[in-house]
Amino acid sequence: MIPEVQEWLAQAEYDFSAAEAMFNHLKFLGILDAIGPHARYPKDLQAALKAYLRKVAKDYLARTREVLECLKNDPILKP
């Protein structure tokens, strides 16, 4: 394969992966936005504890860290 074509394909794959990751982050941020205040400041703590199992909470925490790392490393957001 021509080197220029190989380079273009490699960059296209990278861009596609980055776009896919951003889309997944946006979907996750939509979930957090929807549950935001109700999860952080529940009126009924026991009901909230039942609704948000430890597994779900750990997953949200891990995904939030992933989004934060993505934002920290985004060259557009750097000074």
67, 29 Cβ separation under 8 angstroms:
yes
Cα–Cα dist 33/24, whole Å? 14
- Residue 71's pLDDT is 82
- Residue 34's pLDDT is 83
- Residue 62's pLDDT is 92
- Residue 41's pLDDT is 81
Helix axes 3-40, 54-73, angle to 10 degrees: 130
Domain range enclosing 7:
3-77
Average pLDDT over residues 59-79: 85
Q: What is the 3-state secondary structure (H, E, C) of 31-59?
A: HHHHHHHHHHCCCCHHHHHHHCCHHHHHH
Please state the separation of Cα 52 from the chain's center in Å: 18
At 22, which amino acid appears?
Answer: M
Domain total in the chain: 1
SS3 56: helix
Q: What is the pLDDT of residues 6-48, one digit of tens each?
A: 999 988 888 888 888 888 888 888 888 887 777 778 888 888 7
